[in-house]
Amino acid sequence: MRDMIVSLRQFHPIVNTLLAGTVFMIIGISMSSPFLAIYLAKNTDLSAAVIGAVIGVGPLAGAFGGFIGGMLSDLIGRKSLLILSLCLSSAVFFGYAFSSSTIFIVMFIFLGGIASSIFGTVSRALIADLSTQEQRVKVFSLQNLAFNIGWAIGPVIGVLFGLAASATPFIVTGSIYMVYAIAMGIALQFFVITKTDVQQETEKSSMKQSLQMMSRDKALFLFVIGSIIMAIAWAQFPILLSQFVTSTFDNGTEIFGLLLVINAVVIIVFQLPMSKWSEGKSPIFALVVGVLLAAAGLLGFSLSFNVVILVTAICILSLAETLVGPMYNVIIDQISPEKMKGAYFGAQNFGLLGMFLSPILGGYILDMFGGRVMYLVLSSICLLSILFFYLSYKIYLSKNKQEIYLNNSQVEKAI
């Protein structure tokens, strides 16, 4: 705890504002959104696959929204884009509260996916701008910790408000986003950003040029493919888990809420120790360990014939989260050129395509073969992502060594 307080004092005030805001933002999201699949399953005749497709609209929009946001953040600066994404998210949740039309709900899910993805892209790039190389592992780990503090609190509040009929959670979430936007605007005006100014000169790039950049950078391309595969296996686990648990266990809704809280509490407890452990390791090694833990947790769901096994599986999956989330950001930060970090973080959001496919594929397998087969397949898919992550980092290291060699040769010639 003392180390965390010391670290926070060393961070830029804007970074600390982002970390604090993340807690309240996720409290709002997690008090309502995780129960959407249960609501649709109980109140409509939609199949699990169709429910997955409806909810997957958000990540599908986010896959492109984050990439566009990454380019815009490099072109016009990140301050206005950050505030705009928070205001749009606020409007989306107020829209949920006052809309009863399925078409409008799908539209709000789409807009929410774009806003959320842009905010994630811009905030990660801003953190990279305002943190030293040594600080970034800690900052991204603390961001993950803040995220899960919110997840520990939000579901409990959501249960108290009611899982389906009440619009209150959405109104509260919309209000939280609006307050966060105001606080962020004040912080950006109050605290001076000097050398790490978010609107520093940067390479101008169109959508076409950025896609060409992805095709040229094999390390980035393979990392994005690995992210998509990983997301198919794991990223939408609350949606699939809610349907599996409610259809398999008595009092499934209450068990699902308990699992969400356990997930967040385990991450809160172990995030800092796992972060400290990973600081002395290669980022790719820590990421692979995280993926292996995720595969083991998903396999545990397949074998969960009682609540004890369910809890054990969610604990293992939670430990995976303490490594995978931060290491994603660390590796993207490493492989990206200094003036193109926003675009690289945006390209990472193509991994959200996996979040779109996950509930559809998982829902189809759930409908046809049941939850235990579904999780066996998802665990296997999870392991496949390791190959792409490894090849990506290997290419990056090879390229980096070659650049160092060329630079040293130039220096020797100059001497």
User: Is residue 201, in this structure, part of any structural domain at all?
Assistant: no
User: Is residue 199, in this structure, part of any structural domain at all?
Assistant: no
Q: Tell me which amino acid residue 250 is.
A: D
- What H or E segment, with its residue span, contains residue 321? helix 307-335
What is the mean pLDDT, run by run of 10 residues, along the chain of 415 residues?
Answer: 59 86 88 70 70 79 68 71 92 84 81 86 78 76 81 76 64 92 90 51 47 78 91 83 86 82 85 84 92 96 92 95 85 80 69 83 89 94 95 87 47 41
- Calpha distance 136→142 (Å, rounded): 10
pLDDT of residue 70: 59
Burial of 132 (0-12, 13-18, 19+ CB in 10 A): exposed
Give which of 97, 259, 124, 283 is closest to 178, Cα–Cα: 97
- Calpha distance 283→47 (Å, rounded): 40
User: Is residue 412, in this structure, part of any structural domain at all?
Assistant: no
Give which of 116, 361, 67 is closest to 231, Cα–Cα: 361
User: Is residue 250, in this structure, part of any structural domain at all?
Assistant: yes
Q: Does residue 334 contact residue 282 with C-beta atoms inside 8 Å?
A: no
pLDDT of residue 129: 77
Phi, psi (deg, nearest 5) at residue 205: -145, 135
Q: Tell me which amino acid residue 255 is.
A: I
For residue 205 the two structure tokens come to 């790039």
Non-local CB neighbours of 7 within 8 Å, separated by 6+ positions? 135, 138, 142
User: Is residue 414, in this structure, part of any structural domain at all?
Assistant: no
User: Is residue 268, in this structure, part of any structural domain at all?
Assistant: yes
Number of domains into which the chain is organized: 1
- Calpha distance 231→40 (Å, rounded): 22
Concatenating the DSSP letter of every residue in 31-88 gives TTGGGHHHHHHHHS---HHHHHHHHHHHHHHHHHHHHHHHHHHHHH-SHHHHHHHHHH
pLDDT of residue 293: 96
Domain span including residue 92: 18-192+209-407
User: Is residue 267, in this structure, part of any structural domain at all?
Assistant: yes
User: Is residue 243, in this structure, part of any structural domain at all?
Assistant: yes
CA dihedral 378→379→385→390, nearest 10 degrees, is 180
CATH of the domain at 229: 1.20.1250.20
Non-local CB neighbours of 235 within 8 Å, separated by 6+ positions? 59, 351, 352, 354, 355, 358
The dihedral sign for the CA sequence 230, 158, 42, 59:
negative
Neighbouring C-alpha atoms within 13 Å toward the C-beta of 222:
17
